[in-house]
Structure 1
Amino acid sequence: MTLTASEQTTSTVVYDRPFDSDNHYYETLDAFTRHLDPKYKDRGIRVIQRGKRTELLAGSELFEFVPNPTFDPVIVPGCQDLLFRGQIPEGVSPRDLMKVEPLNPAYRDHDVRLRMIEEQGLSGILMLPTLACGVEEALKKDIPALMASASAFNRWLDEDWGFAYQGRIFSAPMLSFADPDAAVKELDWIIERRARVVYVRPAPIPAGYGRSKPFGAPEYDKVWAKLAEAGIAVAFHLSDSGYNTFAAAWGGPERFVPFRNPSPLASVLVSDRAIHDTIASVIIGGVLHRHPTLKIASIENGSDFIHLLIKRLRKQANQSPHMFHEDPADTIRKHLWVTPYYEEDIRKLADVIGVDRVLFGSDWPHGEGLETPTDFLKELHAFDEAEKDQIMRTNVLDLLGLEY
C-alpha cells in the first residue's frame, strides 16, 4: 500500500537554521478534482480547454485567479523584487521585470523540495497555497460545493505534500468556516493527519443568500474550540477576500485578477483592508477571550495595518469598554504572529507586537518574493543577533509548537 506524505514518518529533526514561514507550491490541475465527491463535479473547480489555452471554471463561471493554471511556464522567483520595493530604475518598465521559466520540479515534488530546502540553508518551511487562495471567493455562493472542494483539496495536499513531511515541510490544509458543522468534521480529519496549522482566508465568512458573517459569530465557536483544543495555529494568508467590491464602487475592477489589467486605484483602496478587518473581527468578536490558547498568524499581508488597527481598537475599547476584556494591543501581542513584507519597517513592528511575534517569510517561489529566502536576514540590520535568530527561526517554531 502506498502511504500518503502525511503517513511517512521521520526521526527527530533539529531546527538549527532559518525556518521560512511563507513558502508556496504550485497546485496540479487535479488538486480540486482528484478527490472531489462526484456529485459536485459540475459545481466545483473544473478544468477546460479552449483552443491551446487551459482554463478553469468555478461552477459555471471562468476562474481567473491565476493567469495560467498549468504554471508552466511560471514566474521566476524574486523577479519582481524591485517592483514591490518601489525601486524600479528610471527608464525600466514594470513589464520588463516579469520573467518566466519552465516549471521547476521543486514546486510540485516534496522530495525535490527537501533538497531545495537544504540548498537554501533552511531547517524547514511553512507551505501555503497559490491557486487555492482564490477558491473560497469563487465558490462562496455555493457553500456545499465550497466545502466539498476544500475537503477534496486537503486530500490532494495530504497525498502530494503531507502536512508535516519529514518534519521539514509543514503544509497548511484549507479551512472554510462557511458551514461550521462541515468545518468541524473536516478538522477531525485534519487533526488525525497531524497538521499543525490551517490556512484560512481573511475575509467575511460566506453565509448563503448573498450574506456574510464575522469570525466572532456564535455559530463558529465550535470551530475555534476545536482548533484551540488541538493546538492548531490559524494562518490568515493573503487571498482574494472579495474586497474588489469596494474598488468597483469607485470605478475599479469588480474581480481580483492578478497580473491582468492592474488598477492602481484598486490597489490603494483594497490594500491591507481584508487582514485589518479580519483581525478586528476576531478580537471584537471575543474569539481570543473565549479561546485563550488560540494562535493566529498573518502571513503575506504586510504589517503596516497593525499600527492603525491598534489605534482604532484602543479607541473603541475606550468608547465601548464592555466589548473588550483587556487592552487590545495586549491581545494582539499574546495571540498574533506576523510576517512583514521585507521592504517594511520591521523594527517598528517588533517594537509594537514584540520581537517574538515577528516571522521571517520569503514568499518563495513567487515573483514578488525573495529570489533567495535567507536574504530576508539583510533587512534585519536594526536587530541584534539573538533577535535575528528569533525572527529567522524560533518564532515560527513556537507558532507551530515545534521543539528547538
Structure 2
Amino acid sequence: MNELGYLSIDVDNHYYEPLDAFTRHLPKEFRRRGVQIMKDGRHSVAVIGERVNHFIPNPTFDPIIEPGCLDLMFRGQVPEGVDPVSLMKVEELDLRPEYQNRDARLKVLAGQQLESIFLFPTFGCGVEEALKKDIPATMASLHAFNLWLDEDWGFDRPDHHVYAAPMISLADPVAAAAEVDFVLERGARLVHVRPAPVPGEVKPRSLGHPDHDPVWARLAEAGVPVAFHLGDSGYLTISAMWGGKENFEGFGFTDPFDKIVTDDRAIHDTIASLIVHGVFTRHPGLRVASIENGSEWVHRLAKRLRKLANQYPRAFAADPVQELREHVWVAPYYEEDVKRLAGVIGVERILFGSDWPHGEGLETPVSYAKDLSPLNSDDDIEKVMRTNALEYLGVPVPSVAR
C-alpha cells in the first residue's frame, strides 16, 4: 500500500472558499451587514460588517501560495543569508481544482496516501471576529456558510473520505443550539467552534457559561466532537495594549512582539474555560480537539491546572489534569516535541495534521510520520497518523487491510 502500511487520517486540511461562500444563501436583509467582496481597482477586498477586512488580503485566492513552501521558515531552518520572504511561491488557482472542488480533492487524496481528511475554512476563520458586534449578522452569516459548505463539500457522504466541519457560533445561545440541530440533521460528523471568548450583547462569556450547555449537551449526546481551529480570536487586543496593532492582517508586516504576547493564549484559555468552568463535568461524553494551535500551551495549562487544583480543591469536581487527558485531542505543529507532549496527555490523544494546502504546512502530508520518529514504536506512530482520529470521531470509518 505504502511505506507506512496503512492510509492516514489528516485532521487539518483546508479549502479555499469561493467568493459566494458567505453570500450564496445569505438573506437579503444581511447583505450589507455580512460578508461582501468588492472591487478596489484591479484587486478584490473583503468588506465584513461594512468595514474593510484584511484577515485574508486576497479573498479571490488567485494567485495562491504553494503548499509547504514555507516549511523551512516554520522549522527555523532557513539557510543563512536567505531572505525568508524569498521562500514564498505562488501558483494560479485554476491549476489546482482540488482546492475548491470535492471530486478533484478525492483524486488527490489517493495520491497522498490519505484515507480521510478533516476540512476547515481559510477565509472563514476570520469572519466571526469581524462580526462580533453584530450578533444577528454573525448567526445569519455562519448559517449561510454552513449551507454553502454542505452544498459544495457535504457534511455526510457515504465514502467517509471528507469530513467538512460546519462553523458554530455561540454568540446567540438559542440560535447556536438551533444551528447545531440543523447541522446534525444534515449529518455533520464534527463541528468547528472558534477558540475565543463568546461575544455577547452586554459582555463576552466563557465557553463554560451555563448558557452554552444546550450546545454541549446536544453534541455530547450525538457523539459529535468539537474542533477548535486556529483563527482570529481577537487576541490582538492584547498586542494593542502594548502599542501594537489590534486587527489581524494575513501576510502583512508582523511585529515579533505581537507574536510573543498573543502566541497560543487563545487555545490555552479556551480549553481552560471548558475545564475550570465545568463543561466536561456536566457533559462527560464531550470530545474536543485543538487543531493548528500547536502544543506548547498543553504543558503550561497542565502545570497551572495542577497548581490550582491544589490551591482551590473545592473549585474542581474532578481532577482537571485528568479531564484534559480524557477529553482533549491535540494536533501539534510538525516541528514540536511530540514525545514531550505524549508525556503530558498520552500518545492516544495526539493527532496528525498537515495544514495542507497552506504554505506554512507540509507539501506532502504523510511526511509528518518522519517527525514522529521520537515515539516509542510503529504502533504509536500509527495511533497518531490514523487510529487516534477514529477514536476522536467516534464514528465508523472503513478499516484498511494490511
TM-score scaled by structure 2? 0.95
Which residues in structure 2 correspond to 1:170-185 (within 5 Å)? 170-185=163-178
Match of 1:203 among 186, 196, 199: 196
| 1:79-117 Cα deviation digits (max 9, x unpaired) | 010111111110101110111111110000000000000
Give the AA of the match of 1:385. D
What's the secondary structure of 1:70's corresponding residue? coil
Q: Return the offset for 1:186.
A: 0.8
Give the Cα separation in 2 of the matches to 1:249 and 1:279.
24
Distance 2:274 2:101 in 1: 35
Which string of whole-angstrom CA distances, capped at 9 and with x for unpartnered residues, describes residues 222-247 of structure 1? 11111111111100000100000000
Note the alpha carbon deviations across 1:287-312, whole angstroms, 9 max, x for none: 00000000000000000000000111
Separation in 2, partners of 1:224, 1:402? 18
Residue correspondence of structure 1 range 88-167 to structure 2 within 5 A? 88-103=78-93, 104-165=96-157, 166-167=159-160
Question: Hey, what's the Cα distance between the residues in 1 that align with 2:40 and 2:247?
Answer: 21
Q: Write the distance in 2 (CA, Å) between the matches of 1:326 and 1:120.
A: 42
Q: Which one-letter code corresponds to 2:64 in the other structure? A: V
- Identical amino acids, percent of aligned pairs: 55
Distance in 2 between residues matched to 1:258 and 1:252, nearest whole Å: 15
The answer (yes or no) to whether the contact 2:14–2:120 under 8 Å persists in 1 is: yes
How far off its partner does 1:313 sit? 1.0
For residue 138 of structure 2, give the secondary structure of its aligned residue in structure 1: helix
**Any unmatched runs of 5+ in structure 1?**
1-14
Q: 1:298 aligns with which of 283, 290, 309?
A: 290
- In the alignment, residue 69 of structure 2 is paired with which amino acid? C
How far apart are 1:252 and its partner, in Å? 1.2
Q: Are 1:351 and 2:343 matched, yes or no? A: yes
Local SS of the residue matching 2:200: strand
Give the drift of 1:325.
2.0
Shift of 1:71: 0.5
Question: How is 1:181-260 mapped onto 2 (pairs within 5 angstroms)?
Answer: 181-209=174-202, 211-260=203-252
Distance in structure 2 (CA, Å) of the matches to 1:333 and 1:87: 32
2:118 and 2:6 map into 1 onto residues whose CA distance is 16
In the alignment of these two chains, the number of paired residues is 389
| Aligned pair partner of 1:330 in 318, 322, 326 | 322
- 1:70 match: 60
Letter in 2 for 1:70: T
Q: Distance in 2 between matches of 1:398 and 1:127?
A: 18
1:261 aligns with 2:253: yes
Structure 2: runs of 5 or more not aligned: none
Letter in 2 for 1:392: M
CA distance in 2, matches of 1:136, 1:183: 13
SS in 2 for 1:363: coil
Q: How does 1:19-38 map to 2 (within 5 A)?
A: 19-38=9-28
1:153 Cα deviation after fit: 0.2
Q: In the TM superposition, what is the alpha-carbon distance from 1:16 to its structure 2 partner?
A: 4.4
CA distance in 2, matches of 1:94, 1:21: 27
How far apart in 2 are the matches of 1:237 and 1:337?
12
Q: Secondary structure at the match of 1:356?
A: helix
Which stretches of structure 1, 4 residues or more, deviate above 2 A after TM superposition?
Answer: none
- Paired residues of 2:281 and 2:318 also in contact (CA < 8 A): no
Amino acid at match of 1:296: V
Structure 2 Cα separation of the partners of residues 62 and 228 of structure 1: 38
For the aligned residue pairs, the C-alpha RMSD in angstroms reads: 1.1
Decide which moves more: 129-138 or 159-168.
159-168
CA distance, structure 1, for counterparts of residue 69 and residue 242 of structure 2 = 31
